[in-house]
Structures are given as structure tokens and as C-alpha cells.
Structure 1
Amino acid sequence: MTELIIYESKGEGDLFVERTVEALTPVAAGAGQTEINLDINQTYQEMDGFGASFTDSSAYLIHQVLTAEQRTEAMTRLFDAQEGIGLSVLRNPMGASDYARMLYSYDDRPEGETDPSLEHFTIAHDEEDVIPLVKEALKLNPAIKLFASPWSAPAWMKTSGSMKTGELKQEFYSSYADYFVRFIQAYKDKGLHIYAVTPQNEPLYEPAHYPSMLMLPEAQADFVKNHLKPSFIKSGLDTKILCYDHNWDRPDYPLTVLEQAKDSVDGVAWHWYGGKPAAQSDVFEAFAGKEVHFSEGSGGEWIPPFEQAFSNVMRTGIEILRNHSKSFILWNMALDEKNGPTVPGFGKSTCRGILLINQQTGELEYTLDYYALAHFSKVIRPGALRIGSSASSEHIRSVAFTNTDNSVAIVLFNDSDKAENVSIKLQGQEILACNLVGKSAVSVLVPHQ
């Protein structure tokens, strides 16, 4: 039998442990089993990958707070495909988000001044921490794709005159489209290609305590169709445009944008803070050929650690992939012991990063989100193609892919509290039989034979 590479998480003290086939509890002959049937002839989406965000806060913590030795370790464990978990997608804010040390855009002007020709545009802020880390990540994993999303246009472009709340003024639609072009070109000048952008992060949420901008679906369709896409074409940019970038509970938003903007939009980006992952499939089926991406999901204090929080990432991640997503991106790459830093006036933060970097002690910790993400990114590599995967028990959640080297990756999660006997069959032939304890995760890599 071909030797399988297996990673197993049984609980907080036993996370993402590489084991041999024999180390998994074998199933006794004749024991009742849940069958997982894999079909390589049934294919779905191609993966771009898995990752998180170098927010201003995350980049600062990794680049400035960690020692050089700690930073090398963290970046290797995050991005190296052999020594680490091989993260391959970054979705970074364009300007300040809620997780930034200050409010900033790429074209800030004194109150009362405007700059429609973007004479003062600069990405100097990103050159301090964000860009050096992106370059370091790319050295470790050249397959990384860069996504970017603004939380707000520059304050002078908005009805509120602030980076908090307000809408984009109609008179600045063209300037804002040029703002995206300048951003993409500035990153290109640094040797970095922006793979995809969204016009606005969470366009239906307008909080007053961090950067935000209301952008209704009709406005987004107008902006993309009549300004953003034409500016990309004029400038010769191949960066993809993904609409929406918000929760599953409002599929009417991307449906409206796709109907009105049509070929100007390449796909839809989703978040997990409301609704169900099936919304991804509903929109995908309505607009065949439009890509599906999952661009943000954060863990946090609202779901108790460890088991409930770990289980949530595993079960939801599997469902995100089973509903056609080409990416699975969590939120902050790193936060500190206070779940920050956050923008001034934010208040108490409850989010959790992939890394926890204690600013008081200097300690570096890999959180449960790191290990849950590892179950996907370690075995499902960029370019992998999802294949058919069905389970005879509703408690065993599964997703499977064939990688570009023809290896087969399977991610399983036992969503019950009881142990389950599992038999994995590839094209009808059993490749692994084992016992999965309750709430455990197993990732299996079947090398090309």
C-alpha cells in the first residue's frame, strides 16, 4: 500500500500531529463504518489557496515586535510549504482597517482640501512593514496571490468627510477608480502583482468606530462597470474585480451587482459573520463562470475556545470549499495580547489572530486558527482541483482535491461527540480505514502512484 501522509488533531494538547497510517487506530474487521467515497472524475473549482491578512497591526507586530529569529520562524511556519503550512493567499487592506494603529489612506489631505488628480498619492505607509513582509512571504512561497480591499476611500472623497461612515461622492467615482490603478501600479513598481481587488470591504456595514464606507449594490455596479473596469482596461491591468466582500446573509447584493455590471465583475467575495455558506453556491449557480472567494473570517471571543472555536473553523472551512470557493482567507495574521492594536476609539477588540504576539513579554504563540488552517493549506496546494466527496454519515464532514502533482488531499472532521469508524475509498478502492475521535480533524495526502 502507498504510504500516506496524515495530520491529525484530537484536541488542544494534540494539534496537527503528523502520524503514520499505523498510528491511527485501525478499524476492526466487520466494524460499522462511515464510508467516504472520492471520485476524481467529478471536478469542481481550482484552488488559489489559503491565508490571512497583513493588516497594519499584524505587519507591525511581526515586523517590529518579534525578534529577527522569531520573525524568521513565524514566516517560515506560515508560508514555507515544506517547513511550514504553505499559506498561499494574502488579502491586505488598502489603507487603514479596524486593525491599524492610526487612520490613513494613500491620499490624505487636510480638511477642506481635495486631490482629484491624486497628485499626493503614496503607498509610503505600506513600505514600512507590509511590503517587506509580503516580499519575504513570496520568497518562501512564490505561488502566493495578493488580494486587496479598502475599508474606506480617502476622507475627502466621501459624504462624511471622514474615513469613518459616509458614501463615495459621485463626483469622485473616476478619481477613486484611478486610486485603485495607482495602488496596483505602485505595488507593481515594488515587484508585487495584485491578483484581485474588491471595491469595498463590507459595503453594507457603516460603523462609526473604524474606517467604513456604505456602498449600496447599485452604486457598486455603477462604480465597477463605468469607472473601475474601464480604468483597468485603459491602464492594461489584469487584476480581477470581485464584488460584494460581505456576509452570506445578503446574496441579493452580489446578484444585483452581477446582473448590472456583468462582464466587468470576475466573481464574488464572501464573509462568514452572517448567513450560511450555501449562499455561495446559490449565486454561483445563477451566474456560471463567476469565481467564488471567501475573503474574511475571524475567530474570536464570541465562540469559546478550544473545541467550539476549532470545530467552527474546520466545519465552516469544509463547507466553504464544498460551496465552490477558490480561497479560504481568515483575518488578522497576528494580534497582540489585547487582540490589537486597533484604530483609536475602536474600543474592546474580541478578534483572534493566526499568531498571538505578546507585546509585553515578546512571546510568540500559534493559535487554534493556525492549526485549523494548516489542515487545509498543508495538503491542498495552489492549483488543486476539488473532486467529488460523499459521506454515508452526516457527522463526518469531508472535502477532497487532486493536486497538480496528482496527489489526492482529503480533509475530514468528525462533527459528533462520539468516535466514528471511517473508511476512505478512492474510485471504490479503500485507501485508509481508521477511527476518528469526536471533534477531531484529519488531513490525508495520498501521493501520486
Structure 2
Amino acid sequence: MKILKTSIYCLLISAMSCNTQPEQLNVEIFETSASGNQLTSIKPMVNDKEIDTLPIVRILPDQKYQTITGFGGAFTESSAYLLNKLSKTNRDLIMKAYFSEEGANYSLCRTHMNSCDFSLDQYSYTPTEDKELKDFSVKEDMDDLIPMIKEAQTISKDGFKLFASPWTAPPWMKDNKEWVGGKLLPEYYPTWALFFSKYIEAYKDQGIELWGFTVENEPHGNGNNWESMHFTPEEMTDFVQNHLGPKLEADGYGDKIILGYDQNRAGLKEWVDVMYATEESSKYYDGTAIHWYESTYKIFAEDLQYAHQKAPDKYLIETEGCIDAQVPVWKDDAWYWKKEATDWGWDWAKEEEKYLHPKYAPANRYARDIIGCLNNWVDGWVDWNMVLNKQGGPNWFENWCIAPVIVDEDNDEVYFTPLYYIMAHFSKYIRPGAKVLGIDQSDADLMITAAKNPDGSTAVVVFNEGKTAKQFNLWLNEKRTSVNISAQAIQTIIIPTK
């Protein structure tokens, strides 16, 4: 009887016990690698006698975490200007690569209100001192920025959420009367709130619906380099609680999302403590925005966890990241996988913090950070410029950076860097409304995240930073497949709906 019970048990389960062969897990695998794969479809491993000894990656479908808001990049004047310099063929190529279902299918995007460092010059929608903002106009955006956004809307089948960020109020509203630095004068808090409302109206008139805003890009400032305006946590919360939130509500825009903070993660705890201190202070905040520039490689997991616990029902979105302080390398994929880049932080970091800014591989930074964010409650990740030129501009401050797509506007050439494909590993396959799932893994050298999409499919993203190919068994429930991932590679593994 005991033997019979054991036999029945073995028949009822399809696990590794009792020498039963687990049922095959059907998957599609797409890989981008230093060896040349670019979202290339690859096959699972062929089962052999050694397969049971491989490391295990197990998806835990009962462990559900945050709901994904989206992935994408920023519409900037620099990017839009460059697109207007290209042939229609190459412009269409880039826009479809970002917004079509066949491409990266971006779902969450950002743009700037007034000028920013990636504008061609400094401008405001309200250049004239007038508290009623009678001369408010987005005419500066009509030639480049608005057409780019509208074209993206036409291409995108599912649509995308768009939020806007101001770098600064016009100088006449500030205590220093300058584009750079200074604070918003309290007497202009109501006027600045009105500015947001008028911006919604102006863009709506152009057929563009705003999803929401961040209150201020980098409220700590940026070293007094380009457009900025300083807020303390208390000042921003006062503005949101008593002016911006009530104004949008009164004007019928209470559904617009308001994200506070919008700078590096090292300052996150201080900000969320103030933003979410009371029911009144947190009423109009829908979430928190963060950047990645505090460190080349550190994810600040503890700070992200803290921010989530402080406001577990609110958004936590990475709103800007890029390979900064770097002229792009043209048509050399290998460079993006080598530890040859540094970052702006190397210049400003204290000596004892230089270790946070070593040489790094740009491809690694994107893959590591996005996976690390998803595994620490971040629900959206937005890149910076979508398109830049071979110099890393244009922009008025000559603040050169890299974008996933680089163009030579003079010769009408386009280069899709490895960073484009890495972004697509997330944006194309992890869709808005997906639920991040738990993962149990036995190979600590692999970075892994997983999410179940609204259509029932599951996307697993695996990053192998090492210079040796790896193999592992992927389990979901009692089904298994075996996977080989190349050295220096990122994979998205799609498990279809049943």
C-alpha cells in the first residue's frame, strides 16, 4: 500500500522527484548581446542528461508586486529638431522603431515645459510679466516638438501616457530673475499653478492629452549650469498642496497625475517623509519621480523600498536616465558593452564618493538599473532624449549625452545603438498593467525580473553581465525549459498565455 501511494503521488505531480520528466514550458526567447544579437529570436536548449544539474530560475506567480505604468523616453526639442532634418524615410524609420507594435512600442513618455538643456535656446511660454498669463503661448513648440508628439500618437496603436516637466518658471517669477537657479517667489505660486493649467489647455488644443506632470525637474538644481529652479521638500509640498492641486482641480483637471521630487535617489527619503507626512500633504501627490544620476551602478534599493513603504498606493517612476557627459560613439556596438564611459558625477562627486562613478559599460548600466528598479517597486522607467546627433546634441548648453538612436543629420544616416534594443526588451514585452512577479534563483550572477501581462503572457528579463555564457532551467508552476544566455547579453523570455 505504501508503494502504491508513492506511485500515485509520482503520477500526480510533474516535478523532479521520482525521476519523472517535467512538462515542457513553451517559450519565445529574444536576445541582445555584445556578440551581435539585436532582439534576435533564439531557441531553448535541447534537453540532455546534464540538464537537471543546471541552476534554477523559478517564477513565483503567487507573489505579485507593483503594477507597471510603462516604459519610454522623452520628447525634447533637440530630438524633434533632428527628426525634421532627416529624410522622410529615416524619420519614419525612427518613429516606428519607437512607437509601433513591431518596434519598442513605448507606453510612457515625458516632455519639457518651457526650455531645458536639450533645447536650441532658452524660452518661456510666458515671456511677459503678467500674473494672468494673457500672452501664454506654446508657439515655440509648434515647429518641432508638437509635430513629433502628434506623429507618435498616430503610430502608437495602444497610445502612451505623456507627462511634462518644467525646468524653470520664467525668470520674472523668480527671486534671482535668472533662467538658472533661484526660487519661485511665493507671490507667484498662484501664477505658476495657472501656468500648468494653461499648458494643459494649449496642448489639448493641439490634440495632445497630458497624463500628468512632475512638479519640477531636479529641484536641488544642477550645479548652476542650465535651466533650473530650487525647491525644498517643504516648499514643493506647499506649492502642490495649496496651489497646484487645488488649481487643477478647480479647472477640471483633477485627474492629471502629479509626481513630486524628480531628482536623484539619494535624496529620496527626505522628500517622501515631507510629501507623505500627512493626509493633507499627500492629497494631491499621485507619486514620486526619480532620476539615476547619483551613481553609475548603485540602484539605491533601500531608498526605493523606503519610498514605496511610505506611499504604497502611489506611483514610483524613474523619469530620466541617460549616458551623460559623453559624446556618442558612432556605429561601434562593441563600445557600448565595454567599460569605457564615465558620468557627470565623476566631476562633482566628493572624493570619498568617487567610487560611485567608475568606468562602466553603457549597455550594462541600462539593463542593471531597469531590472533593479523593477525588483524594488518602481513601476515606470523613462529614458531621456530619444534622438541625438553624433556630437550628443544639439543643445544650447553643449551638455553632450548619448541617446539610444544617434543620427548624422548632414548625411541622413541613422544608428540604432545597443541601448535602443535594451530599452525594447522591457517596453515591447512588459506592457502597462503588467504585475511584477516574484523570482527565486540559484545563480546570483544573473539579474532577473518577471511580470505577468494583462493578456496573460509572462515576460522574464534576464541579464548576464559576465563574459561567460550561462545556462539555467526556467520553471513556471511544474513546467520547465532550459535556456542558454550569451556572455554580456540581455534576454526577454515570453511565456505565452495557456
Q: TM-score, normalised to structure 2's length? A: 0.84
- Listed as ranges, the matches of 1:243-254 within 5 Å are 243-251=260-268, 252-254=270-272
Residue 289 of structure 2 is aligned to residue 269 of structure 1: yes
| Cα deviation code 1:329-380 (max 9, x no counterpart) | 110011111100112xx24x34101211113322111122211101111211
- SS at 1:250 equivalent: helix
Asked if the contact 1:168/1:213 (under 8 Å) is kept, the reply is: yes
User: Does structure 2 conserve the Cα–Cα contact (< 8 Å) formed by 1:200 and 1:245?
Assistant: yes
Equivalent position amino acid for 2:272 in 1? P
Q: Distance in 2 between matches of 1:288 and 1:223?
A: 23
Tell me the TM-score normalised to structure 1 length: 0.93
Aligned counterparts of 1:299 and 1:392: Cα–Cα separation in 2? 31
* Distance in structure 1 (CA, Å) of the matches to 2:468 and 2:38: 18
Q: Which runs of 4+ in 1 moved over 4 A?
A: 24-28, 301-304
Q: Is 1:33 aligned with 2:54?
A: yes
SS in 2 for 1:314: helix
Mapping 1:381-400, distance limit 5 Å: 381-400=431-450
Query: Cα distance, 1:254 vs. partner?
Result: 2.8
Rounded Cα–Cα distance in structure 2 between residues aligned with 1:294 and 1:34: 31
1:308-347 to 2 correspondences below 5 Å: 308-343=361-396, 346-347=397-398
Deviations 1:369-419 (A, max 9, x none): 211101111211122111112221211111111111101111001133332
In structure 2, what residue type is equivalent to 1:380?
I
Indicate which of 76, 81, 94 corresponds to 2:113: 94
Q: Equivalent of 2:224, from 205, 208, 224?
A: 208
RMSD (Å), alpha carbons: 1.8
Letter in 1 for 2:261: Y
C-alpha distance after superposition, 1:31-84 (max 9, x if no partner): 63221111222111111211111111011111x111111111111111111x21
Task: Write the distance in 2 (CA, Å) between the matches of 1:398 and 1:420.
Answer: 13
Q: 1:15/1:150 Cα in 2 relative to 1: closer, same or farther (>3 Å)?
A: same
* 1:434 equivalent in alignment to 2:483: yes
Question: Which residue in 2 is equivalent to 1:72?
Answer: 92
SS in 2 for 1:194: coil
Q: Is the 8 A contact 1:49 1:328 kept in 2?
A: yes
**Residue 65 (structure 2) pairs with residue 44 (structure 1):** yes
> Does 1:306 find its partner at 2:337?
yes
Alignment-derived partner of residue 242 in structure 2: 226
Deviation at 1:2, TM superposition (A): 6.4
In the alignment, the residues of structure 2 paired with residue 283 and residue 366 of structure 1 have an alpha-carbon distance, to the nearest angstrom, of: 35
Shift of 1:15: 2.4
Does structure 1 residue 127 correspond to structure 2 residue 145? no
- Residue 309 of structure 2 aligns to a residue whose secondary structure is helix
Identity of aligned residues (%): 31
SS of the aligned residue for 1:325 comes to: coil
AA in 2 matched with 1:36: V
Matched with 1:147 is: 163
Instruction: Verify the 8 A CA contact 2:51 2:482 in the aligned structure 1.
Output: no
By how many angstroms is 1:301 displaced?
5.5
Show the counterpart of 2:352: none
Amino acid of the structure 1 residue aligned with 2:265: W
> CA 1:244–1:221 in 2, change beyond 3 Å: closer, same or farther?
same
1:11 alignment counterpart: 34
User: Mind listing any 5+ residue stretches in structure 2 that lack a counterpart?
Assistant: 1-23, 329-334, 339-360
3-state SS of the aligned residue for 1:331? strand
Q: C-alpha separation between the residues in 1 aligned to 2:85 and 2:170?
A: 29
Pick the aligned partner of 1:186 from 202, 212, 217: 202
Secondary structure, aligned partner of 1:208: coil
CA deviation vs aligned residue, 1:261-289 (integer Å, no higher than 9, x gap): 21121110110011534122211112221
Which residue number in structure 2 is paired with residue 258 of structure 1?
276
Deviations along 1:168-195, one digit per CA (max 9) or x if unpaired, are 0110000000100110121122222211
- Contact 2:25 / 2:479 at 8 angstroms: preserved in 1? no
Pair member with larger Rg: 2
Which residue in 1 is equivalent to 2:127?
Answer: 108
- Structure 2 residue matching 1:335: 3-state secondary structure: strand
Give the Cα separation in 2 of the matches to 1:397 and 1:358: 34
On the 8 A contact 2:90/2:412 being kept in 1, the answer is no
Residues 17 and 26 of structure 1, relative CA distance in 2, 3 Å threshold: farther
